[in-house]
Amino acid sequence: MYCTACSQTMPPGAKFCGSCGTAAAAADAGPVVSPATATPARAIPSDTANHAKIIYFMNLAGVLTFGVTSLVGLVWAYVSRNEGTDLTRSHFDYQIATFTKSVILGFALLVIAGIMFGISFAAGFVSFALGSLLASLVSFAWGVGGLGLVIWNIARSVKGLLILGRNAPIRNARVWGLPV
């Protein structure tokens, strides 16, 4: 027999778990088994799905906190990654991928904007009006790109929350678009 609270082996006929004290009525005849892999797994905290949900909300709040809560959520996802079921692990991997891709896209935006501002600065030596026009266009494009990145991040977090709400795994956490 195995205790459902702590997954420790209990001797046959035991009335209580020797490890955590749970009554034998709450014990079952086998170890906790993950349906996806059909291999014995250790007891999983029932709140790992809630951890994934909280991390999605932290990622959404990152829009307002300039990524601070997203960074905390990233660390939490890495820590929780090996504690959950295959379902929650897929969501943690998706959250980690979303953060990583956001950083890559944000850095690319900064590099492109830096190059374009350099070009507009150089053009300003030729013609002040041309330099000003290019700087305005670069600022507009950088703002649109940044807004696009924010919308992409929000859409991925909301889609992940919806999939988690259906108790479904993320099929391909590494996809750049939205999962189906």
First to last CA, the chain: 40
* Segment 143-160 mean pLDDT: 94
Tell me the percentage of the chain whose pLDDT exceeds 70. 81
Q: Has residue 40 got a pLDDT over 70?
A: no
The better pLDDT of the pair 84, 155 is held by 155
β pairing state of 2-3 and 27-28:
antiparallel
pLDDT of residue 31: 46
pLDDT at 33: 44
- What are the tokens at 21? 């004290």
pLDDT at residue 180 is higher than 80: no
DSSP 24-89: GGGEESS--B-TTT-SB-----TTHHHHHHHHHHHHHHTTTTTTHHHHHHHHHHHHHTTTS-HHHH
pLDDT tier for residue 155 given thresholds of 50, 70 and 90 = very high
CA distance 42 to 45: 10
How would residue 46 be classed by pLDDT, with cut points 50, 70 and 90? low
pLDDT of residue 20: 65
Q: Most distant CA pair in the chain: distance in Å? A: 91
Q: What is the radius of gyration, based on Cα positions, of the chain?
A: 24
C-alpha to C-alpha distances, 38 to 10, 42, 45, nearest whole angstrom: 21, 12, 18
Quick one: pLDDT band at residue 1, thresholds 50, 70, 90? low
- Residue-wise pLDDT for 93-142, tens only, equals 999 999 999 999 999 999 988 888 888 888 888 888 888 888 888 889 88
Residue 118: C-alpha distances to residues 132, 134, 140 (Å): 12, 10, 15
Confidence grade of residue 176 (pLDDT, cut at 50, 70, 90)? confident
Residue 121: per-residue pLDDT: 83
Q: Phi first, then psi: what are they for 179, rounded to 5°?
A: -70, 160
| CA 89 to chain CA centroid, nearest Å | 10
H or E stretch at 153 = helix 128-165
Residue 4: pLDDT over 60 = yes
Kindly report the average pLDDT of the chain as a whole number. Answer: 82
Mean pLDDT value of segment 80-88: 87
| 167 Rama class: left (phi>0) / alpha (psi -120 to 50) / beta | left
